[in-house]
Amino acid sequence: MTAAAYEPGKLEPEIQKRWEKSGIFCTPPLPGREKFYVLAMFPYPSGQLHMGHVRNYTIVDAIARYQRMRGKTVLHPMGWDAFGLPAENAALKNGTAPATWTFSNIDHMRGQLQRLGFSYDWSREIATCTPEYYKWEQWLFLKLWEKGLVYQKSGTVNWDPVDQTVLANEQVVDGRGWRSGAMVERREIRQWFLRITAYADELLEGLDTLEGQWPAQVLTMQRNWIGRSAGAEIHFPLASGDGIVKIFTTRPDTLMGVTYLAVAPEHPLSAGVAAGSADVAGFIERCRHTAVSEATVESQAKEGVPLGISVRHPITGEALPVWAANFVLMNYGEGAIMGVPAHDQRDFEFARQYGLPIHAVIRNSNGEEHPEVLEQAYTGTGTLIHSGRFDGMSSEEAKGAITTALQSCGLGNKTVNYRLRDWGISRQRYWGTPIPMIHCSHCGIVPVPEKDLPVLLPTHYELHDPRSPLLDDSAFFEVPCPNCERTARRETDTMDTFVESSWYYARFACPDASQMLDERAAA
Ligand code: ANZ
Ligand code: ZN
């Protein structure tokens, strides 16, 4: 007997048709049996599946089939992460509209996935660039706005001069934009933010409940990502005139060893001095050409300029010079530091380079005195020395005592900082979810009324340059203010595509729901 030859070209389309007819992979919205959700990350519709997709989706499909065989009701959906820059770049190159390019890619890739025979419930397919999907994102944005969890702020960002948009720190690789490869610049622009830092402590506490369930190194990474840092905010009064410079420190115990202050190049003090000083202006300009991420800042040589301003030490009243320095980040803490070169390595290198004094105020735990000339900073804790009335205290005691002393004269407070940043979600590009906000010169920022959702993204443009066509289309941006009916301007920024990919997993449970999520189906 000879075995019949397996001819996939004949057999598979036949079987696949039967699967489709009988709806065998369709999942009921409220199954009675034990449920199992198998989710693979949905793909970006770039045009063609590649072997990476095939590998990944095959593994996940095997899991889905296995769980079905075990008698579970399996939800195994598929969809498209369909907004984003590549559609615009391809459209620029080929002279098509991004929507046309995207939908034709989706059709092609859907066909490829179907020929591979994956057991998806295609009745749940979603594409994030459709108003049926992004309408709910806009709705959520309005809800977050009502709760004070959305705000607009101008800040220093990584600007990709080729792609003409803002990049997250994770999208900057070795100082270059992840897609364009162009050297990233710092720019000051207004952006929309989601206040995720309001949840920092809750997120941290949540990690404790995952102890033993998640790999330890993932938990550590998450904790470091949130980066809770307890310390103090300290105020240094300007030596002449009114005003203070605020700094954040985790080591208030080293306050008596401060020999200078350093502020970020983007700090208002630097900008103020730059107006009258070519040296300072030149320094700020040089710093503008490097990315804002901590990693970049860590790796570069420490550089700075004196601002010609002095502040008073909050306890001794001694005058201390203020510098602008490239290792101080504007968007961490207060954008300014107190320089304690004897006990912080960066401050030490900076002081060495510019001949600033170095005063040791912590004796290490071996009880050794510091030599007159230090080779490097002693960054550990210990016992206070050369610190007046705080002498003899341990670092721990001194942190409390010094913070209390500052509090009582109104020059400092205990504070907590997080490395976690609020999420800057605005992008200056076209192919994304329009942010449902209106700028009225009379009323300020006015949210689009819920009944006017979705704010439809026009799909007819052909692109000729990277500039967003929304900026030049008055039919899009000229709108009456919902409040006073005067002519106002619709927001032309769109949302980062990571906003779409942060909730699709839940929408798959109820892709046709007439609200963002159907709680019963998604439970
Ligand atoms: C004085 C000092 C003395 C510091 C000392 C350290 C050791 P984490 O733990 O990461 O929160 N810092 C504060 N704001 C900064 C900014 N915007 N850019 C760069 N550095 C900044 O680190 C907190 C420490 O990082 C702070 O404590 C400050 O240096 C620095 F012996 O203040 B420290
Ligand atoms: Zn108005």
HEC readout, 29-63: CCCCCCEEECCCCCCCCCCCCCHHHHHHHHHHHHH
Ligand 1, atom nearest to 330 Cα: 17
Share of the chain above pLDDT 90, in %: 80
Kindly state whether residues 187 and 262 are assigned to the same domain.
Answer: no
Predicted pLDDT at 361: 96
Mean pLDDT computed over 352-379: 82
pLDDT-based confidence at residue 290 (cuts at 50, 70, 90)? confident
Cα of 196 vs centre of ligand 2, distance in Å, is: 29
Write out the two tokens for 73. Answer: 């009701």
Do 144 and 114 reside in the same domain of the chain? Answer: no
Which residues share a beta bridge with 247? 234
Which atom of ligand 1 lies at the shortest distance from residue 362's CA? Answer: 31
Taking only the tens place, the pLDDT of each residue in 143-184 is 999 999 999 998 778 999 998 888 888 888 888 998 889 999
Q: pLDDT, tens digit, for every residue of 437-457? A: 999 999 999 999 999 999 999
pLDDT computed for residue 373 by the predictor: 62
DSSP string, 1-37: --PPP--HHHHHHHHHHHHHHHTTTPPPSS-SS-EEE
Q: Are residues 118 and 150 in the same domain?
A: no
Is residue 366 a part of any domain in this protein?
Answer: yes
Please tell me the least confidently modeled range out of 46-50, 249-253, 438-442, 505-509.
46-50
Q: Are residues 106 and 145 in the same domain?
A: no
- Please answer whether residues 407 and 235 qualify as being in contact, where contact means their C-beta atoms are separated by less than 8 angstroms: no
User: Residue 512: which pLDDT band, with cuts at 50, 70 and 90?
Assistant: very high
Copy the structure tokens of residue 290: 């490097």
Query: Among all ligands shown, which has an atom nearest to the Cα of 350?
Result: 1
Q: Is the pLDDT of residue 463 over 90?
A: no
Both structure tokens of 335: 């954008």
* Rounded mean pLDDT, 179-193: 91
* CA distances in angstroms from 270 to 104, 133, 263, 306, 379, listed in the order given: 51, 45, 7, 10, 28
Collect all residues with Cβ–Cβ distance below 8 Å to 53 and sequence separation of at least 6: 43
Band of residue 125 on the pLDDT scale cut at 50, 70, 90: very high
- Whether cis (ω within 30° of 0) applies to the bond prior to 131 is no
Does 159 lie in the same domain as 184?
yes
Distances in Å between the alpha carbon of 495 and those of 202, 316, 365? 25, 50, 52
Q: Residues 320, 296: one domain?
A: yes
- Give dist(CA 338, CA 325) in Å, integer: 12
**Cα–Cα dist 468/455, whole Å:** 16
Q: What ligand is nearest to the CA atom of residue 293?
A: 1
| 410-432 pLDDT per residue, tens | 999 999 999 998 999 999 989 99
Q: Three-state SS for 123?
A: helix
Q: Is 226 in the pocket of ligand 1 (CB under 6 A)?
A: no
What is the CA(336)–ligand 1 centre distance, in A? Answer: 9
Choose one of 416, 435, 452: the last residue of a domain: 416
CA atoms within 13 A on the CB side of 502: 11
> Is there a domain that residue 509 lies in?
yes
Three-state SS annotation for 326-385: CCCCCCCCCCEEEECCCCCHHHHHHHHHHCCCCCCCEECCCCCCCCCCCCCCCCCCCEEC
Do 93 and 29 touch, CB atoms closer than 8 A? no
**Residue 168 corresponds to which amino acid?**
A
| Ligand 1 mutation target, pool 226, 229, 250, most atoms within 8 A of CB | 250
Which whole number is the average pLDDT over 469-485?
97
Question: Looking at the CA of 329, which ligand is closest?
Answer: 1
- pLDDT recorded at residue 371: 53
Q: Is the CB of 259 under 6 A from ligand 1?
A: no
Taking phi first (over 0 means left), then psi (-120 to 50 degrees means alpha), and beta for anything else, what does residue 188 get? beta
Place of tokens 């341990």: 394
**Residue 5 included in any domain:** no
Question: What is the tens place of the pLDDT at every residue in 193-218?
Answer: 999 999 999 999 999 999 999 999 99
Q: How many domains are contained in the chain?
A: 3
Give the Å distance between the CA of 166 and the centre of ligand 2.
Answer: 29
Residues 353, 241 share a domain: yes
- Which two three-digit tokens encode residue 167? 């990049």
Taking CA atoms, 307 is separated from 236, 238, 311, 447, in Å, by: 15, 12, 11, 42
User: Could you tell me the distance, in angstroms and rounded to a whole number, from the CA of residue 187 to the centre of ligand 1?
Assistant: 24
Domain finish residue from 416, 451, 483: 416
Nearest-CA residue for ligand 1 atom 27 is 249
Report the pLDDT value the prediction gives residue 301, as an integer from 0 to 100.
Answer: 85
Would you state the pLDDT for residue 303?
94
Q: Is the CB of 248 under 6 A from ligand 1?
A: yes
Q: Which residue has the tokens 């800040």?
A: 155
State in Å: Cα 250 to ligand 1 middle: 6
Computed over its alpha carbons, how large is the radius of gyration of the chain? 29
Q: Give the Å distance between the CA of 477 and the centre of ligand 2.
A: 14
d(CA 321, CA 308): 7
Answer yes or no: is the C-beta of 370 below 6 A from any ligand 1 atom. no
Backbone angles phi, psi at 471, to 5 degrees: -65, -25
- How many of the other CB atoms lie within 10 Å of CB of 523? 9
Q: Are residues 448 and 368 in the same domain?
A: no
249 Cβ closer than 6 Å to some ligand 1 atom: yes
Sheet holding 319-325, edge to edge: 304-312, 319-325, 260-263, 336-339
Residue span of the structural domain in which 146 resides: 137-195+423-500
Question: Does residue 135 sit in helix, strand or coil?
Answer: helix
Probe target for ligand 1 pocket from 226, 235, 245, 249, with the most ligand atoms within 8 Å of CB = 249
Q: Tell whether ligand 1 has an atom less than 6 A from the beta carbon of residue 344.
A: yes
Query: From the CB of 428, is ligand 1 less than 6 Å away?
Result: no
pLDDT, tens only, 381-406: 999 999 999 999 999 999 999 999 99
Indicate if the pLDDT at residue 374 is higher than 80. no
215 belongs to a structural domain: no
pLDDT of residue 370: 59
What pLDDT score does 2 carry? Answer: 61
Q: Which residues contact 222 (CB under 8 A, 6 or more apart)?
A: 203, 207
Who wins on pLDDT, 123 or 88?
A: 123
Query: Do 317 and 429 have their domain in common?
Result: no
Domain end (from 416, 434, 463): 416
Among protein residues, the one with the nearest Cα to ligand 1's atom 33 is 249
Ligand nearest 342 Cα, by number? 1
- Dump the DSSP string for 178-234: TTT-PBPEEEEEEEEEE-GGGGHHHHHHHHHTTBTTB-HHHHHHHHHHH-EEEEEEE
CATH number of the domain that residue 435 is part of: 3.40.50.620
Best CA proximity match to 67, nearest among 22, 40, 41, 37: 37
In a domain, 11, yes or no: no
Closest ligand 1 atom to residue 297 Cα is 19
Can you say how many angstroms the Cα of residue 338 is from the centroid of all Cα atoms in its chain? 27
267: Cβ below 6 Å to ligand 1? no
Closest to 322 (Cα-Cα) out of 251, 360, 390, 267: 267
Q: Residues 339-348: what's their mean pLDDT?
A: 96
Residues 325 and 412 in one domain: yes
Q: Say if CB 106 and CB 80 are below 8 A apart.
A: yes
Ligand closest to Cα of 226 equals 1
Q: What pLDDT score does 292 carry?
A: 67
Residues 44 and 61 in one domain: yes
CB 189 within 8 A of CB 166: yes
For the CA of 343, the closest atom of ligand 1 is 31
Do both 444 and 334 map to the same domain? no
Of 156, 229, 248, which is best to mutate to test ligand 1, by the most ligand atoms within 8 angstroms of its C-beta?
A: 248
For residue 445, the ligand closest to its alpha carbon is 2
- pLDDT above 60: residue 1: no
- When pLDDT is averaged across residues 91-109 and rounded to a whole number, the result is 92
Residue 214, domain member (yes or no): no
Q: Assess whether the C-beta atom of 172 lies below 6 angstroms from ligand 1.
A: no
Could you tell me if residue 43 is inside a domain? yes
Residue at 218 is within a domain: no
Question: In the predicted model, is pLDDT for residue 24 greater than 70?
Answer: yes
Q: Which run of H or of E encompasses 64?
A: helix 51-69
CATH number of the domain that 255 lies in?
3.90.740.10
Ligand nearest to the CA of 380: 1
Compute, in angstroms, the gap from residue 442 CA to the centroid of ligand 2: 5
Strand order in the sheet with 478-480: 444-447, 437-440, 487-490, 478-480
Among protein residues, the one with the nearest Cα to ligand 1's atom 28 is 249
What's the mean pLDDT when you consider all of the chain?
Answer: 93
340 C-alpha to ligand 1 centroid (Å): 10
